[in-house]
Structure 1
Amino acid sequence: MKNHRKTIIISIIIVLLLLIAGGTVMLNQHQTLLQSGRKGNGEITTYPFAKGMREFKEMKVYVQDSKQTQALQLYSVNTNPKRNYPTDDSLLKKAAVATFDMKGKITVAVVYPKAVKSVQVRPATADVKTKIKGKTVFFTLKKWGQYSVEMNGDSITKDLLIFANPPQEKIPASAKVIKGRVDGPLNIAQGQTVYLAAGSVIDGPVTMASDSKLLGRGILTQGGPPAINVPNADHVTIDGINIFDPNDWVVQLYNSTHVAIHNLKIISCRDNSDGITIQSSQDVTIDHSFIRSWDDSIVLKNYTNTNTQNIKVTNSLIWTDLAQSMEIGFETNKGNPLTSMKLSNVLFENIDVLHAFHKAPISIHNADNCSISNVTFKNIILEDAQMGVSGTHGEGGGWPYLIDFDNGNSEEMGGDASWTNNDGNRSIENVLVEGVWVLAGEKSSCGLRLLNEDSGGKSQMKNIQLKNIYFKKQALNFTSMINEANLAGHVSDKNSPYFSPFK
């Protein structure tokens, strides 16, 4: 009996040693490959894997800085590439997500289960060069940011999202630090800072009061609606966190002012899981963030008797599986039936839409009694245009428009009747769309729609400028569509000879 036990123990030890040796050999193998002319000069900080989160094991990722090579644990995060409403959990897919901090230049090796024929690292503006060797892809990241690594032209089942954060700043001494996994809801009180540590999870919704901050590298999941709610608050900051698989609306700003969102990463896949919804709020900035949503990615509305104005969205990545990417509407006056509301001073600049699978990336749907003015969409890159395409990418239909600007009842636009709350005077004025590059996809998806349903002569659309809009390297000419809408004197379409968006 003793000899039998001894044999079992020795066998277990041998197996463990072989597993350790195998892992070491694989790590050393990729360390050697990474060092062959691709060694980074930067610094990487990895995090503990969050308790209770699922691990993605169908690929392996190694990162190397100036000191060492490290294997990363990947999160398995639900995504929804279908356009079937309501959603069906059986149709959900999984994306692999890697997250770490970095500074300087680092190198990455991604090992897939099958041979790699082609790979694309988005955004295109990052200009990431890749090298393929069998099942392994190598590349260098020169700066922090969010990246999508897509193998063999498949963004649906073989996608790796890399969230490479900047080095963390010192945790404020007064901050409440959350570690491990905690159940929501979490209410962040006025003047309070909450730091969600790397490897931590809040399982449920968060509500933020005035002068509050939510910082860190942790994860929010299964929260909502909404996952983060900012109601009637002033001076709020959200920075660095991840939101995976929320239940509904993801971030809602409601009747709030001076809200700063930075380096926020969102992946949503369920009904009505709009990314960031800005309702009757002012002085909002969204910068260097990533939003993959299963409804409007960023959407502006008026829900109270307060006007939405002074909104700035810059240097961010958007991936829209359903609905619109950068949307104003439909509900532009839901809370003030007696007075025309305003929605003004809006800027979307330096935005890279990785994929648009359903409706217009650039859209204004003025379905209520509202004056919309001074809106700019500038330096917009659409890497994959699939709007309104049926088949593999377009289950559930969609609208084949690159730009969709409409005054009218929501039903007239093809929406739900309940989205119009206050019929009346409508206007869309002083809108500039300048510098839009569609890099790939379907040209048939890149139409222009202009609806100006007058509701008895009460709607107007004027001073709409469309400049330098290209599909691949060809200028898109919208003159016939403008004439068809009887807006030739109010909408202009001018293109310079093609020039590259890449500096």
Structure 2
Amino acid sequence: MKYFFLIKLFLITPVLLAQELITYEAPTGVKYTAHNDDFTVKVRKPGGEWMDLFEYNVQVDLDNVQNASMVSFDFSGKVEVAVRKNNGNINKAQIRPLSYKISPEVNGNVITFTLDQPRKLSLEIDGDKLHNLHLFANPILKGKPDPKDPNVIYFGPGVHQPKDLPGDVFHIPSGKTVYIDGGAVIKAKLMIDHAQDIKIIGHGIIFQPERGVEIRHSKNISIDGPIFINSSHYTIYGGQTNNLTIRNIKSFSCKGWSDGIDLMSCSDVLIDDVFMRNSDDCIAIYGHRWEFYGNAQNYQIKNSTLWADIAHPTNIGLHGNAEAGGDLIENITFSNIDILEQDEDDLNYQGCLAISASDNNLVRNVTYENIRIEDIQEGQLFNFRVYFNEKYSGAPGKGIENLLLKNIQYNGNSANPSVISGYNKERPIKGIQIENLKINGKLIQNSNEANIQIRDFSEDIKFTKK
């Protein structure tokens, strides 16, 4: 019996040690101005004491700006979540992405569920996507930097805003680690300009800046963890930057041109485990624009959730150096992506997966793999075109080559016909393989079943299954 007890204790102890839960107080400077009272959210270790979370107000949807809610915390092991809806009844509660298959329990006006791994979720009551609760359950931050290290810029709990600098900007020099505590709120943009070897880490908030992080002519930059609430313009704006890593960021925007991650002439980029809810493109990859020059090559975008209240969840190729013959945009992979929405009424900017080759750009070697598209309000699944955009372009695109669409799923009935189109015989789209495309569970065998319009100057398009 003694040995049995010791073995049992040995087996249980690692599980107990793995249970960790960290919550953060909202700073006094935002507590009374940034709260949303639609929900009361609590979390606890299994069977432990409930801990209150602060429900931030986040604004969503440019067309009809509304107030939604957001909470965040860090944990390991398991965590129990309880959400009380403070106004109105609950007929149905749904947690998205649906691919996570999280089924909440509803008891009166209280919803409960359990998580056993970090997740970024949308809890929606009776189908309401505009007043929903966004819940960000982060992993425990490991290897926290020492705030006293001279190479660390530390934003501790509280509100931070520049005082002596012109504009709401914190400039980050080379070799620094920016550590944003989970209880910190930064009311400013972080600027990286002609710099290198910079890390931005932590689970704090960058609150209503002009832009979230602006990166210019730099290299070896890593951003991991922050929440960006309602930037006026881009969440992350990158120009002519190499070796850029973006992980575990969460973004909200509701204004014109308030894109998520827009990168111009950047190469060797990893975007991993992000949640983007934006009122413009969530992720856009371009060549030359403004003062940034060069090709865009070698991208991996994976394990992420994209929600475009308008415009594209993903967009490639619109901008380039038309006068110099265009740019090369190549070797791009999107994998393991959940797309929760596209609501765009302009046919010229539809497409959950969009390539808009313009400005003499050649776009090639693009893979979309394991993409799950939920029932969008208005848009298209695919829009791949070599075309001339009268508003933004100096020339039509040079072409699109070698696309692989593998294991794409769409469940819904609202999508408009997808489009595949070249420009002319010198500027075609060619070499598209569509493998294991499923719409509402049905394996698609051809363009008619897929509701795809294949227009002129489109070559070598194949549907396959494996």
* Superposition TM-score, scaled by structure 2 size: 0.86
Once the two structures are superposed, the pairs formed by residues 12-31 of structure 1 within 5 Å of their partners are none
Name the structure 2 match of 1:59. Answer: 39
Once the two structures are superposed, the pairs formed by residues 74-223 of structure 1 within 5 Å of their partners are 74-80=55-61, 82-83=62-63, 91-113=64-86, 114-157=88-131, 159-173=132-146, 174=149, 175-179=152-156, 180-183=158-161, 184-208=168-192, 209-223=195-209
User: Which range is displaced more, 424-433 or 375-384?
Assistant: 424-433
| Shift in Å, 1:424 | 5.6
For residues 246 and 343 of structure 2, the distance between their equivalents in structure 1, rounded to whole angstroms, comes to 25
Residue 366 of structure 2 aligns with an amino acid whose one-letter code is V
* 1:429 equivalent in alignment to 2:401: yes
| Shift in Å, 1:150 | 0.6
| Shift in Å, 1:336 | 5.5
* 1:241 equivalent in alignment to 2:219: no
Specify every segment of 5 or more residues in structure 1 that has no aligned partner in the other structure, as ranges: 1-40, 84-90, 388-399, 411-416, 497-503
Residue 231 of structure 2 aligns with an amino acid whose one-letter code is P
* 1:337 equivalent in alignment to 2:307: no
For residues 342 and 357 of structure 1, the distance between their equivalents in structure 2, rounded to whole angstroms, comes to 30
Residue 37 of structure 2 aligns with an amino acid whose one-letter code is K
Residue 485 of structure 1 aligns with an amino acid whose one-letter code is R
| Shift in Å, 1:479 | 2.5
Name the structure 2 match of 1:290. Answer: 275
For residues 201 and 99 of structure 1, the distance between their equivalents in structure 2, rounded to whole angstroms, comes to 13
SS at 1:162's partner residue?
strand
Residue 407 of structure 2 aligns with an amino acid whose one-letter code is G
Change (3 A) 1:139 1:283: same
For residues 460 and 406 of structure 1, the distance between their equivalents in structure 2, rounded to whole angstroms, comes to 9
Post-superposition Cα deviations, 1:469-497, rounded to whole Å, max 9, x if no partner, equal 2221123455347675146742122356x
| Shift in Å, 1:52 | 3.0
Is contact 2:306-2:341 (8 Å) kept? yes
Change (3 A) 1:123 1:425: closer
| Shift in Å, 1:182 | 1.7
Q: 1:368 aligns with which of 355, 359, 362?
A: 359
Change (3 A) 1:408 1:257: same
SS at 2:302's partner residue?
strand
Name the structure 2 match of 1:407. Answer: 386
Name the structure 1 match of 2:50. Answer: 69
For residues 298 and 441 of structure 2, the distance between their equivalents in structure 1, rounded to whole angstroms, comes to 33
Q: 1:469 aligns with which of 425, 431, 437?
A: 437
Number of matched pairs: 423
Change (3 A) 1:296 1:477: farther
Name the structure 1 match of 2:426. Answer: 458
Residue 327 of structure 1 aligns with an amino acid whose one-letter code is N
For residues 340 and 185 of structure 1, the distance between their equivalents in structure 2, rounded to whole angstroms, comes to 33
For residues 229 and 489 of structure 1, the distance between their equivalents in structure 2, rounded to whole angstroms, comes to 39
Post-superposition Cα deviations, 1:129-164, rounded to whole Å, max 9, x if no partner, equal 21111111111111112111111111112x010111
Q: 1:324 aligns with which of 306, 312, 331?
A: 312
SS at 1:305's partner residue?
coil
SS at 1:156's partner residue?
coil
Is contact 2:386-2:396 (8 Å) kept? no
For residues 116 and 50 of structure 2, the distance between their equivalents in structure 1, rounded to whole angstroms, comes to 17
Name the structure 2 match of 1:253. Answer: 238
Name the structure 1 match of 2:338. Answer: 352
* 1:264 equivalent in alignment to 2:249: yes
Higher radius of gyration, 1 or 2? 1
For residues 464 and 293 of structure 1, the distance between their equivalents in structure 2, rounded to whole angstroms, comes to 29
Name the structure 1 match of 2:4. Answer: none
Is contact 1:466-1:494 (8 Å) kept? yes
SS at 1:98's partner residue?
strand
Is contact 1:243-1:267 (8 Å) kept? yes
SS at 1:143's partner residue?
coil
For residues 59 and 425 of structure 1, the distance between their equivalents in structure 2, rounded to whole angstroms, comes to 48
For residues 376 and 161 of structure 1, the distance between their equivalents in structure 2, rounded to whole angstroms, comes to 29
Is contact 1:340-1:369 (8 Å) kept? yes
SS at 1:490's partner residue?
strand
Change (3 A) 1:203 1:460: same
SS at 2:375's partner residue?
coil
SS at 1:337's partner residue?
helix
Change (3 A) 1:429 1:69: same
For residues 285 and 50 of structure 1, the distance between their equivalents in structure 2, rounded to whole angstroms, comes to 32
Once the two structures are superposed, the pairs formed by residues 297-312 of structure 1 within 5 Å of their partners are 297-303=282-288, 304-312=292-300
Is contact 1:263-1:289 (8 Å) kept? yes
Is contact 2:220-2:244 (8 Å) kept? yes
Change (3 A) 1:74 1:482: closer
User: Which range is displaced more, 274-283 or 485-494?
Assistant: 485-494
For residues 301 and 430 of structure 1, the distance between their equivalents in structure 2, rounded to whole angstroms, comes to 18
